[in-house]
Structure 1
Amino acid sequence: MSSAAACNRPDALPLLLASASPRRRELLTQIGVVHEVAAMDVDETAAPDEEPGALVERLAAVKAEAARDHARRGQWVLAADTVVTIDGEALGKPADEASAAAMLQRLSGREHRVITGMALLRDDGPVCTGRGETRVWMRPLDARDIAAYWASGEPRDKAGGYALQGRGAAFVERIDGSCSNVIGLPLFELEQWLNDLEDPPARA
């Protein structure tokens, strides 16, 4: 059976997304993947000397494993984790205005990378992991740019302190790679995964 035919089976189950991110939900909806949500709260502390790509793949796998018990029999579970990295260091979500300003000052006028790790599993099967990576160039920012952006409320829950899908897009000069990866899911890679499944989740 082809993937397209399998997607249209009346008994196909929705994907279980192990994330509370509204951006990831929007991206799944964009490509027609029917989904439910079971957000998982896990320890996101990096291990000593853990490089950013390995970190996001590991955290995605941990989230997927945590959501396994919440899935129905035969239901696919997807988890993801995104990090902004510069000079080999991962930048998480800013804790406050000062940390957001420090992140944006560091990214100002420079290239950085956004890496999203993904993990997919079903029932008691193994976890499949992978990642997407995008190069991003940000224009120089001054103190007024940064203060106004913080006042907008947008940076508070965003890795690296900015959102490409929001007002932060005005700071980005260019990107090399997937836009959706920067937002929270590398849709090209995810679509390849889903197309390779014999019994994929439901599509709208």
Structure 2
Amino acid sequence: MPASSCIILGSRSPRRLELLSSIVNPEQIRVVPPENSSEAGFEDLTAAGVIEDQLRRIVSRKQQDVVRQLEYETTDDIDARILIADTIVVAQRDGVAKQRGVVAQNRGVLAQTQSGDPMSQLIVLGQPAEPNWQADVRDWFRNLLSGTSHSVWTHFQLVRFTRKSTSCQHTRLADQTVRSEVTFIELDDSVIEWYISTEESRGKAGGYAIQGKGAALVCGLSGSLTNVIGLPVREVAAAIHR
């Protein structure tokens, strides 16, 4: 793989690797995940702007982690682009979006939250916590996701990294948040228990995978499907080929 043309994916996610491989020759992709897997949380963050700032900081720290690894690995010259992304599920905390049968209104509420309405109360759903992940999924599905809409945000950064002899430089090429909106069907307990039994919720933001059996829970999508899966392919491709 020529070092001068590679894309370095700073992620452990097989889904992101698969999506990136759909727009970049797999032979040009090198995976260098961040060494530090711990990251800041979103506890007590309820405003859209604050949540987005935290998401951007998380991605920036991962990018810095990968850059440090590249700076210290070898003395070979390299001219590559580093791609880092992180995805979160953002739901309504205060129950405004839980009014049944008013999907259009739900979409309007989410549009307000995305524009940074300070009155909006949001909650970020990460991966359900082990070992009792089932309890998180039941709570989220029953009280936050059933019969309503939520947002999925992916923030990505693309950085050019060059190393010649002992001199290293990195320049940010893209720094963008992409949002999609997902609407769930009404989830009764039998559907929730069926989905939990598949164990697909484990390790998934929001407790579901739209690219898998979780598609059975979805009745509407506005925006990029690949963004919900973990990488907004159209926007990333535009940044890479810009």
SS across alignment from 1:44:
coil
Alpha-carbon separation, structure 2, partners of 1:54 and 1:191: 23
Amino acid at match of 1:114: V
Hey, what does 2:51 align to over in structure 1?
A: 52
Hey, what does 1:121 align to over in structure 2?
A: 159
Q: Is the 8 A contact 1:77 1:121 kept in 2?
A: yes
Percent identical among aligned pairs is: 32
Q: Structure 1 residues 174, 47: closer, same or farther in 2, change over 3 A? A: closer
SS across alignment from 1:46:
coil
Q: Is the 8 A contact 2:88 2:124 kept in 1?
A: yes
Alignment pair present for 1:101 and 2:138: yes
| CA apart distance, 1:45 | 1.7
Alignment of 1:2-151 (within 5 A): 12-33=4-25, 34-40=28-34, 41-46=37-42, 49=45, 51-71=50-70, 73-87=78-92, 88-95=122-129, 96-105=133-142, 106-123=144-161, 124-127=169-172, 128-151=174-197
Alpha-carbon separation, structure 2, partners of 1:35 and 1:20: 13
Structure 1: gaps (5+ residues): 1-8, 197-204
| CA apart distance, 1:48 | 6.0
Amino acid at match of 1:20: R
Alpha-carbon separation, structure 2, partners of 1:11 and 1:126: 17
Alpha-carbon separation, structure 2, partners of 1:139 and 1:125: 45
Amino acid at match of 2:148: R
Alignment pair present for 1:181 and 2:227: yes
Amino acid at match of 1:111: S
Q: Is the 8 A contact 2:82 2:160 kept in 1?
A: yes
Q: Structure 1 residues 119, 11: closer, same or farther in 2, change over 3 A? A: closer
SS across alignment from 1:170:
helix
Hey, what does 1:161 align to over in structure 2?
A: 207
Q: Structure 1 residues 191, 146: closer, same or farther in 2, change over 3 A? A: same
Deviations 1:91-140 (A, max 9, x none): 10001110111112220100100000001213332434111100111101
Alpha-carbon separation, structure 2, partners of 1:10 and 1:126: 20
Amino acid at match of 2:124: A
Q: Is the 8 A contact 1:68 1:122 kept in 2?
A: no
Amino acid at match of 2:128: P
Amino acid at match of 2:21: T
Q: How many residues align?
A: 188
Q: Is the 8 A contact 1:108 1:141 kept in 2?
A: yes
Alpha-carbon separation, structure 2, partners of 1:93 and 1:44: 13
Structure 2: gaps (5+ residues): 71-76, 93-121, 162-168
Hey, what does 2:112 align to over in structure 1?
A: none
Deviations 1:74-103 (A, max 9, x none): 121111110000122111000111011111
